[in-house]
A and B are shown apart, each in its own frame.
Chain A
């Protein structure tokens, strides 16, 4: 589903190379985790895939179901089925959560040539999905992420994901700032979305999120490259020994 080949990325304003040849394939139905120390390029990878400004791809490519992502606008990537759950979800005062979600859902449907959801249809759908994430109607009415706790913000990200039904979901350190209960709730939300035609790329520092969202494949990223790939046991190895040994091994 997601195919990344020899991706090289530098900062647009600085002569600083962040990704130095990333190769990664995530097939439909699988959950892949990317772990790695700070500054290894994990978040940059998620931003470049979703189309954030400020990065320049100097080499390589990335595609979703064979369609090249890198030339697309962020909204086109979203309509194509890509979703990024932010590490730091953005607060947007004055714009109701519900309005925002309805705008997003209908914009994507429109871009795909589908019929827009009516108010009633949308309400029914969001109430149902919000309930499973323990998001109450008050939280839906509030401005986007304003005054939300860390846990509420992350649950709101998962709600967006559930509403938008992307095929390729990237979770950027979704576990950061979450207590154990909140993490479980978020993980349940993600697990409920797992399906044979949907894939996940879970970026995290720690193994603990992977206790709840079981990955099929774990990648270790360092200095702008995937340096090791293995099964779930690789995450445990990191948890026990840290990145130091692993990286020394790779050289």
Chain B
């Protein structure tokens, strides 16, 4: 195959002479992108082009897209949107290594020197000028292995089209978290970012993400954790940003390693976060959690978390904790699966998804799935959808707590299990403070009864 991806892209719709319904859309989608040629990523990009060819973009009839309309992500370009005010002050009290992206481009001037003990950090664009790189075995590779049994075409598109991202290789235990801040200036920025994070055996890293990526974003993070590695990921993008966001995190967890991810979302238009986690080594731990606050009054609000955790080793633990607070017609979706492969004995898998509906117009759709091929495992899942507990509300008010403040406390109470997944207390307090500020500020806008 020719190594020119621009040529590949032009060829994309041509699949064995038969035009499919989505082909034109895919061609238009690719036409709108500026596809990089790639250095060390070139073969991965070529592979992605072929896979995307075969796969096509998701359609409305696609089972995996049953609850979320892929159309805004299929569109060639996003609608321009008004930028939310930049009030991000998260984590500022914590010493960290700052990496800044502006409209999807690495901003070296605004970033700290990409040097820290025990970590190698490069921007993808800079690294991709080379043909040889440690990330060559991971870029687009973890993504590709996460395409079975469910297709994730936007992640393939990302591997093909992402020109930027960060590549982080951790060999030690850096004292500072790495903090990626996204900024944007253009109202119609359509941003594609691809990060690769590799933790060598015994390495540790905390990765923070904040800010506003673009009017539409497609972010892939590939994470490879070596034996005994510990990785904490906390993402809290800007609140109230009218955005379309697609995120994929592909994770491979080796023996005795620990993966913990927490995502906070406060409003937006339409977001879908997919997590594909393979627990490949014995005695490993993988937790993924999200706290979501959605107000349909600010814009349309639709938030989809789609999680697939595979247990392929013994004595491993996984937890999925997803909490969504929805009002004014907001929609929350959770599709979560635990697959326990044959031989993955003593697996401890747990999944909880809960929707708190602050009015009758909002909805929470949950599709929990367990598929188990080992006989000595402990797996459980729960899903609930409900309104605020009237008794608890009365209890608080009877103590003199005004109704609006009582609702804030009960919402925080509802989200507590998800927030507890943040191990570092400083980070948790920061997130909690932000949540509380936001809830208090919005308290004057209760859901419609």
Contact = CB atoms under 8 A, between A and B. Distances in A.
A196 interface: no
A13 B185 CA distance: 54
A74 B398 contact: yes
B416 A111 contact: no
Interface stretch (A36-44, A99-107, A242-250): A99-107
Given A51-B394, A84-B398, A100-B401, 6 more contacts: A74-B397, A92-B392, A92-B413, A95-B413, A104-B400, A143-B413
Contact of B416 (A73, A77, A94, A164): A94
A92 B408 CA distance: 12
Contacts of A79: 400
A75 B403 contact: yes
A52 interface: yes
Contacts of A95: 409, 412-413, 416
A84 B400 CA distance: 11
Interface residues of B, number: 26
A79 B402 CA distance: 10
Interface range for A: 20 to 34
A206 B272 CA distance: 58
Interface of B: 389-392, 394-403, 405-406, 409-410, 412-417, 419-420
A73 B403 contact: yes
A78 B399 contact: yes
Contact of B417 (A94, A100, A103): A94
Contacts, number: 81
A153 to B, nearest CB: 12
A58 B412 CA distance: 37
B405 to A, nearest CB: 7
13 contacts: A74-B397, A74-B398, A75-B406, A78-B400, A83-B399, A84-B398, A86-B395, A89-B395, A90-B392, A94-B415, A94-B416, A95-B412, A103-B401
Given A94-B415, A94-B417, A95-B409, A53 B403 contact: no
Contacts of A75: 397-398, 400-403, 406
A221 B265 CA distance: 52
Interface residues of B, dominant DSSP: helix
B393 to A, nearest CB: 9
Interface in A83-123: 83-84, 86, 89-90, 92-95, 100, 103-105, 107-108, 111
A30 B415 CA distance: 43
A107 B400 contact: yes
Contacts of B399: 78, 83, 100, 104, 160, 164
Given A90-B392, A92-B392, A103-B405, A51 B398 contact: yes
A50 B409 contact: no
Contacts of B390: 53
Contacts of B392: 90, 92
A90 B400 CA distance: 15
B5 to A, nearest CB: 49
Contacts of A89: 395
A94 B395 contact: no
Contacts of A78: 397-400
Q: Which of A78, A90, A94, A95 is packed against the most chain B CB atoms within 10 Å?
A: A94
Nearest to A84: B398
A51 B410 CA distance: 19
A103 B419 CA distance: 21
Q: Which of A74, A90, A95 is packed against the most chain B CB atoms within 10 Å?
A: A74
A74 B405 CA distance: 13
A53 B391 CA distance: 9
Contacts of B412: 94-95
Contacts of B409: 92, 95, 100, 103
Interface in A41-89: 50-53, 73-75, 77-79, 83-84, 86, 89
Contact of A164 (B394, B400, B406): B400
B354 to A, nearest CB: 12
Given A52-B394, A53-B390, A94 B401 contact: no
Contacts of B401: 75, 100, 103-104, 107
Nearest to B409: A95
B391 A73 contact: no
Nearest to B413: A94
B417 to A, nearest CB: 7
Q: Which of B392, B401, B406, B416 is packed against the most chain A CB atoms within 10 Å?
A: B401
A86 B414 CA distance: 22
B135 to A, nearest CB: 39
Contacts of B402: 75, 107, 111
Closest 3 CB pairs of A and B: A94-B416, A78-B400, A108-B400
Contacts of A90: 389, 391-392, 395
A90 B406 CA distance: 13
A207 B402 CA distance: 36
A206 B186 CA distance: 72
A233 to B, nearest CB: 33
Nearest to B406: A75
Interface in A118-156: 143
Contacts of B413: 92-95, 143
A78 B400 CA distance: 5
Nearest to B389: A90
